[in-house]
Amino acid sequence: MTVELGHFAVVIALVLSVVGISTPMIGLKSRNGTWVVVGRRAVIAAFVMLTIGMATLFYAYLTEDYTVKYVAATSNSKLPIFYKIAGLWGGHEGSLLLWAWILSLYCMLAVIIHWKSQPVVMPYLIMIESIILCGFLLLILFLSNPFERNFPAPLDGRDLNPLLQDPAMVVHPPLLYVGYVGLSIPFAFAMAALFSGRLGEEWIKATQRWTVFSWMALTLGIGMGGFWAYYELGWGGYWGWDPVENAAFMPWLVTTAFLHSTMVQEKRKMFKVWNLFLSILAFSLSLIGMFLVRSGVLSSVHSFAADPGRGIFILGFLVFMLLLSFGTLILRSGKLRSTVKLESMVSRESIFLVNNLFFLVALATVFVGTLYPLLMEVLELQKVSVGAPYYNAVFMPVALGLIFLMGVGPYIPWRKSTPTNIKKLFVRPLLIAVGALPLIYIFGVQKPYALAGLSVVIFVLSMITMDFNKVATFWAKRQKVNRGQGLVEAYKSNPRRISGIIIHLGVIILVIGVIFSSMYQAEKILIMKPGEEVTIKSFRFRMASLYSVEGINWGGKEALFDVYEGGEIIAQMNPQKRFYTVSQTPTTETAIYQLRMGHLFVTIPEVAPDGTWARVRILHNPLVTWVWAGGVLMAIGAFMNILRKTRRKRSPASESTGMLPEVTQKVAADVTAGAVQQTR
């Protein structure tokens, strides 16, 4: 019965989303703010209903109720509790419900947080978010219902895909969804700005933290996915340019561009239409990503089962959202003319412009690569698969350019800078970077791309160090503290800048990790019997033994390796070959030993049935831990940005452009009045 309760709750949530769409419209038409208050209540109630829906499914998982089709497909009585819960997002239906739930959570939080400060936005925000929610709930209830029952019920579930039975995989999808869905908030604010005609800087200021938060979640989600692929799939690599990875990477690229270009609008009131465009594009790409992953148009390692009915619905929804948003942008942005022009090509705003162009080129690269196979298919040309060589060839130069800009953008002055100015800023770091080249070469790094990458990295690092040194000294003098505390003072006085630079540092660390782990990776694949040895770089691997092991829901073989370096044993590693009994799937469990910030990585993809030999794959990935350390530092930087204290500068009526339609002003007044009533 509980699952039916959840099903019913989701049906009510659908009705509430329709209320959320219609009441703000009526409110705007009839100039009556009470309607918007009704919309607010609908949003909150929808969240409660969806939470009930989620809770009943969790209950079904925990009580092993395999009469529910979806539960039976993604769980099993032998699963540990942790993975029973994760089963909810182990398939198409449940993960959609999670999407919808996160969406309604975001919407509720945004409405509550901005209710008083952004009254004009509220009706539009409620309306836009409810439209998205309504679309998702229709898809869930009519085409991908996780509450459906199964008669007769199977005795036990078919088990969660063993590849997903992994801690990183439990958090990876929710993090990504938090990122994707979070982009709907800046999107809704941008739409509200277009509809209401309040096209100033206010929507950007209000949504800055939401955007950074979504960006942080996307960064962590993508990183976690890479980590999972690295050791669970046993690739030995963390990024494969798979369509699904690209689907997450594309919104990330646009959001990063957006976070940079909004700074220009805040400081210099430029790029107004561009910013509206980017915020719409970012959310559109997360919808496009969903279409690509769930409709079966592309083949990928992680795509969900294809179903043309679902594909058509998602496409219809996508067409509606994209035409609505980009159409509004076209119709309404005519009013916007940037009043400020670029004064000089040598200025921070022009660097930001180049930065945005680079990001868009990067996006185009990934977009074309992802859709190329589909395009070829539609044009009935020969089937191709676009792989890593294409991306490496096109993406790497763009990435290199973007990294270089990290050393320029934050330090060059706004408006205009003089040649002496430039000399003073950049000559020393450039000399350091060029001077370091022969040293790196002698040190053993001799591949052209690695050399180019490292010298750019050194340039940026010396820029960052010089700048940190300067601000730390300044604040240390001013507050009469030491320079470490000086840096803390600098963060307090300009948190956005310092947290931004910390994110840049994270990127630099990640790039160093990528350069070394991809270009200096060593690999050996061979058949080994117990007692045999193999040498890779300075390491000697000896297979000590090969034996059977058993887990709760799997059985398999394990090998024990003694690893020697220079005659001394430095580690024992035991990779496994597992076979999950319920779902009848084999998996390869990696053994990883961390050494000098790199990894020794061993898998046994194949074991002889009689247990006498195993096929062994050994990798040495130097500095690979820097990839994730960099990712974590990026997230920390973003978190510092979100946690900063806002300096409250009240700028209410003066900010409004005077173009504000009378209707919205009236509603705004009513909404505020309504809010006051509510709080009583």
Residue numbers at the binding site for other proteins (CB under 8 A): 288, 291, 295-299, 308, 311-312, 315, 318-319, 322-323, 326, 330-331, 334, 371, 373-375, 377-378, 382-385, 579, 584-586, 605-606, 608-609, 615, 617
Pick from 612, 611, 590, 610: which is nearest to 601 by CA?
A: 590
Smallest distance, Å, CB 296 to other proteins?
7
Integer angstrom CA distances of residue 479 from 335, 365, 488: 47, 48, 11
Nearest to 283 by CA among 406, 401, 191, 173: 191
Nearest distance in Å: CB 159, other proteins: 14
- Residue 377 or residue 562: which is nearer to other proteins going by CB? 377
Q: How far is the CB of 601 from other proteins (least distance, A)?
A: 15
Closest CA to 233 of 289, 162, 305: 162
Burial of 606 (0-12, 13-18, 19+ CB in 10 A): middle
Which residue type does 576 have? Q
Question: Could you give the CA distance from residue 471 to residue 455 in angstroms, rounded to a whole number?
Answer: 24
Residues with Cβ within 8 Å of 461's Cβ and at least 6 positions away in sequence, in order, are 508
Taking the C-alpha atoms of residue 328 and residue 195, their distance in angstroms, rounded to an integer, is 8
Q: Which residue has the tokens 């990330």?
A: 252
Minimum Å gap between C-beta 332 and other proteins is 8
Treating both helix axes as pointing N-terminal to C-terminal, what angle do 495-519 and 388-406 enclose, rounded to 10 degrees? 140
Name the residue nearer to other proteins (CB basis): 213 or 291: 291
Nearest residue (CB) to other proteins, 197 versus 401: 197
Tell the smallest beta-carbon distance from residue 587 to other proteins (Å). Answer: 11
Q: Which is nearer to other proteins, 117 or 299 (CB)?
A: 299
Q: For residues 56 and 246, which CB has a smaller minimum distance to other proteins in the complex?
A: 246
Nearer to other proteins, 326 or 639 (CB): 326
Token pair for residue 158?
A: 């078919």
**166 SS3 class:** coil
* CB of 16 or CB of 190, closer to other proteins: 190
Structure-derived torsion over alpha carbons of residues 225, 228, 231, 237, reported in degrees to the nearest 10: -10
Nearest to 50 by CA among 105, 126, 132, 116: 105
Between 319 and 522, name the residue whose CB sits nearer to other proteins.
Answer: 319
Give the residue with the Cβ less far from other proteins, 489 or 558.
Answer: 558
Closest CA to 621 of 603, 635, 636: 603
Q: How far apart are CA 124 and CA 134, in angstroms?
A: 15
Q: How far is the CB of 550 from other proteins (least distance, A)?
A: 16
Closest contact distance (angstroms) between CB of 289 and other proteins is 12
- Closest approach of other proteins to the CB of residue 525, in Å: 8
Find the shortest distance in angstroms from Cβ 318 to other proteins. 7
Q: Which is nearer to other proteins, 615 or 666 (CB)?
A: 615
Number of CB atoms found within 10 A of residue 557's CB: 20
Task: Output the smallest distance, CB 366 to other proteins, in A.
Answer: 15
Residue pair 311/297 in contact (Cβ under 8 Å)? The answer is yes
| DSSP letter for each residue of 426-487 | HHHHHHHHHHHHHHHHHHT---HHHHHHHHHHHHHHHHHHHHHHHHHHHHHHHHT--HHHHH
